[in-house]
């Protein structure tokens, strides 16, 4: 039996390649073979009966060249394999990292704007002060961004970017009694969604309060 002619790559993406070929007179089934080099060992990859003249090879690696041959068979046996065709899968698409979680704020007690000792949340009788924001590491993240707003549904301003660790001290204002912090993770494929807002309560009275 003659080998199939017209073997071509119909389409491909980062994880699959679709082949097509011309029908062979008298063929009742086709076998598809794959190799990782044009003169390498071609292994049969079709495990079920292929009676059509197309086949999609799936679960492939991105950015890799694959080589294919096809043969036809009937009751008399399998014919010769076709000439090879090759295809390069697209680079694997890596999504941006997941949204950071575990946001927390390390606070201090303040007296007239001076650090007086550790406390759970920053609350200070001063116009500006610093807070240390921390979060859980995100797999695949290269850096992190910290955002800040004075209302939970307000506009979040980028307060710090390119953070390589999982904590950052930022300066905020006590002009609003509620401060809100969000954190995002970044890698070469983009920025994650911002985390849920973390509220920090501040007080502008002359007496420090720790919550």
What's the confidence (pLDDT) of residue 160? 95
Q: How many CB atoms lie within 10 A of CB 166?
A: 17
Same fold, 8-88 and 104-201: yes
Which tokens belong to 189? Answer: 């494929």
CATH class of 8-88: mainly beta
Q: What is the C-alpha radius of gyration for the chain, rounded to an integer number of angstroms?
A: 31
Using the Cα atoms of residue 48, residue 54, residue 60 and residue 65 in order, give the sign of their dihedral: positive
What's the confidence (pLDDT) of residue 202? 59
User: Topology of domain 104-201, per CATH?
Assistant: Immunoglobulin-like (2.60.40)
Which residue positions in the chain have pLDDT lower than 70?
107-129, 173-177, 201-211
What's the confidence (pLDDT) of residue 96? 92
């Amino acid at each position: 039996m003659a080998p199939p002619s017209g073997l071509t790559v119909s389409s491909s993406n980062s994880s699959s390649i679709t082949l097509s070929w011309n029908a062979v007179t008298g063929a009742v089934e086709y076998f598809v073979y794959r190799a990782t080099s044009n003169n390498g060992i071609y292994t049969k990859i079709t495990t079920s009966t292929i009676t059509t003249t197309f086949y999609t090879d799936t679960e492939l690696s991105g950015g890799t060249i694959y080589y294919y041959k096809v043969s036809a068979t009937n009751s008399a046996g399998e014919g010769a394999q076709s000439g090879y065709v090759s295809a390069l899968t697209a680079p694997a698409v890596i999504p941006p990292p997941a949204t950071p979680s575990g946001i927390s704020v390390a606070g201090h007690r303040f007296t007239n704007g001076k650090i007086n000792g550790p406390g759970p949340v920053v609350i200070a009788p001063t116009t500006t002060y610093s807070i240390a924001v921390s979060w859980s590491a995100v797999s695949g993240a290269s850096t992190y961004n910290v955002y800040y707003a004075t209302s939970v549904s307000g506009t979040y301003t980028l307060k710090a970017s390119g953070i390589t660790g999982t904590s950052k001290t930022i300066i905020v204002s006590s002009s609003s009694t509620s401060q809100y912090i969000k954190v995002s993770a970044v890698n070469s494929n983009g920025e994650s969604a911002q985390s849920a807002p973390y509220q920090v309560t501040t007080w502008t009275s002359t007496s420090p309060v720790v919550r």
